Chain A
């Protein structure tokens, strides 16, 4: 059974600190997405990672993909309150099915 595991599930961090969210998956995939969801809102695409070694950066967020290790990371640099949200990784299977991780709820406090 395919599993997509994120950790931590909940992250409370102070403004200005750095942290990494991990996304591990249990089958072969060449595509992985990261999404953000604010409470009561829809999902917003953050990053599309298409190959091994892919690295994408946008503002204080940087995502990477290691297909050999079946691992993606979302690194947060110098966190600010506006980054508080739930972050999901999603793995694309060859059949085009999309499997989401359970999400990481991030809370940034002053």
Chain B
């Protein structure tokens, strides 16, 4: 089954404790992206990747890191989480830009930073 898998689905942690949210897709997609969703603000793009070893900032990259060492994986790293990073996070993937195909979204990861 074609899917984007995020882990963990839920996480409660404390300020300053490094965490990683994993994202994996099994569709051989070139493009992957991370978003955060906050009430009243919609979805905002954090980082995206056009292919292996190619990443770029979205609209709200501060406080986050990403890496794309393999095509299927695109982890989101919070080196020193803070309460303002409490949010619902989505990973998405799609074929290359000219394909005209939409992004497929994971089920989301709800992070609470205390």
Surface stretch bound by B, among A11-19, A61-69, A93-101: A93-101
Instruction: Out of A31, A50, A92, A102, name the residue touching B42 (CB < 8 Å).
Output: A102
Interface string of B71-114 (1 = CB under 8 A from A): 00000000000000000001010000100111111111000000
B102 touches A100 (CB 8 A): no
Q: Which of B31, B45, B101 is within 8 Å of A48, CB to CB?
A: B101
Cross-chain contact A96 with B101 (CB below 8 angstroms) = no
Chain A min CB distance to B66 (Å): 14
CB contacts under 8 Å to B, within A45-96, are 45, 48, 50, 88, 90, 92, 95-96
Interface bin, chain B: 20 to 34
In this complex, how many residues of chain A approach chain B with their Cβ under 8 Å: the count is 22
Cα-based distance from A100 to B56 in the complex (angstroms): 17
Q: Which of B43, B50, B58, B97 contacts A88 (CB 8 A)?
A: B43
Dominant SS among interface residues on chain A: strand
> Which residues from B are CB-within-8-Å of A92?
97
B59 surroundings in chain A (CB, below 8 A): 97, 99
